[in-house]
Chains A and B, each alone.
Chain A
């Protein structure tokens, strides 16, 4: 039955593309099958949109309707949640409970592991944003030209990169059980202060000053600008802020990675 094993049947080299694709596929499957993650990261932003956008009724925020305004806002909220939970919670658990050690003992290319998490964040972020758009178009009277809608989706989904980086930074320092709590400590206040839950101009003045230092503010401004509701600052500054923030987070993640190696190794 097992005699052929002595002579392996093929002599192929491990294919990097195959590894990356499989790693991402199984990361996605793993998470799709964990309702806790999918529900909290996809359903909550949609629920907020339904309650505050659709049920509360259409109002004007600046020059656009609330049902349109809240798509970039809750889109940012959703992208941030999907990316943070997708990377930080799974990394903290893999680290804390020994699974990452099993992976490290295998010939898995280390980058494939992180690649898979980022792909997963992007897929969930995309689903989040598309569902928001569909809800808005069907029930919120939102009309957007296809080009604008595409640009909105791309802008928001690009935001999953800085927040995946932030998730890695958190995941390297949080414990396996405390990770969701640690994520929420950053996630919820940041969302509020960046004007994702209520229009920015209704926030207290000091919060508005604070927001400039918060990455979700920059992402939401980029997305609001697409639909014509931004504050009018140049986009470049927002992108720079997000890029800088990503670098900072990757630095922290790298530090955490080295700290791990030292403790374990």
Chain B
């Protein structure tokens, strides 16, 4: 894969404590469809890992494997060193899945009461409701809730057992900005309380804002892994926008330039060495004007990472 050249996978740490969850050389086929391929990933205690990728990349498959809802075709998946499908493993795990319909005639507190009973050391129900911010909804039936409220109830079911690790599949999908930020705060609170969190998202901002570590998934493989800062530095780190007489080809030929676009009357240059490129540009074009240098957000990194053709 072309992108693998510029984005070396750092791999798992050579030593250290046992990971909370581990995917080892995992491949997963659904019939003839290959959902995951040679997938390696370790989740360490206390970190928040975001699997970032477009729809259909294999993020949900990875979560389903970690929850024991699916078995790998080849390779090994373990959570706390044990089989993720075991009930004893599930007692330490909270899950939030994308679900078509939740029983609508049960009240919020009844859903939480039932799920709490499955766990050895659940949080008191009032506390679960407080953490998820749904105390006001406790006596409402699930069916009458808004989309955002429903997500929060599903979040409550994930945390009610006071689990050590949480697997959240697209936790903020379909939420408006305000609801999304509220859920982010709740997820950060979990980390502050020593939980380990793995979530999937195709919101770039979400991964950047929440994650200690990002695994970028495309077409069933991890194509990059690192802190948000590392992910950004792996691709062109800066964007230079300027108005210049120089042709695109000349700009492109400069060392360390990754990509060049025309942006209305200006030129947009992606580079990993902004200072050096700027010096050269200024020396080549004395008329150069309107210089702006910005840091490439994760969004740009992401687009570059998952773009298949040329980078």
A residues whose Cβ falls under 8 Å from a Cβ of B: 1-2, 4-6, 8-15, 18-19, 22-23, 26, 29-31, 33-34, 93, 96-99, 101-102, 104-109, 176, 264-265
Contact = CB atoms under 8 A, between A and B. Distances in A.
Nearest to B159: A5
Contacts of B120: 11-14
Greatest chain B CB density within 10 A among A2, A97, A107 is at A107
B165 to A, nearest CB: 12
Given A2-B130, A33-B141, A102-B95, 9 more contacts: A1-B130, A2-B193, A26-B113, A99-B100, A102-B102, A102-B157, A106-B95, A264-B64, A265-B69
B162 A5 contact: yes
Interface stretch (B12-20, B121-129, B221-229, B271-279): B121-129
Given A105-B69, A264-B69, A265-B70, A9 B124 contact: yes
29 contacts: A1-B130, A2-B189, A2-B193, A4-B127, A6-B193, A8-B122, A14-B91, A14-B119, A22-B113, A26-B106, A29-B105, A29-B106, A33-B141, A97-B100, A98-B98, A99-B101, A99-B103, A101-B69, A101-B97, A105-B67, A105-B69, A105-B90, A105-B95, A105-B167, A106-B90, A107-B118, A107-B119, A107-B161, A264-B64
Nearest to A32: B105
A2 B69 contact: no
Nearest to B128: A5
Contacts of A10: 121
A167 B178 CA distance: 44
For the residues of B in contact with A, the DSSP-based class is: loop
A108 B157 CA distance: 12
A72 B217 CA distance: 62
B131 interface: yes
Nearest to A35: B105
Nearest to A97: B100
B71 interface: yes
A33 B142 CA distance: 12
Interface residues on B, range: 35 or more
Contacts of B161: 106-107
A93 B101 contact: yes
B106 A107 contact: no
Contacts of A19: 117-118
A99 B98 CA distance: 9
Contacts of B114: 22-23, 26
B121 A107 contact: no
B118 A98 contact: no
A107 B70 contact: no
Given A14-B119, A19-B117, A29 B110 contact: yes
Contacts of B184: none
Nearest to A261: B71
A105 B121 contact: no
A104 B97 CA distance: 11
Contact of B123 (A5, A13, A29, A101): A5
Q: Which 6 A-B pairs have the closest CB atoms?
A: A97-B100, A33-B105, A98-B99, A105-B95, A8-B121, A107-B90
B194 interface: yes
Given A29-B105, A264-B70, A105 B117 contact: no
Contacts of A5: 123, 127, 131, 162, 193
A5 B103 CA distance: 28
B99 A99 contact: yes
Given A5-B162, A29-B110, A265-B69, A14 B117 contact: yes
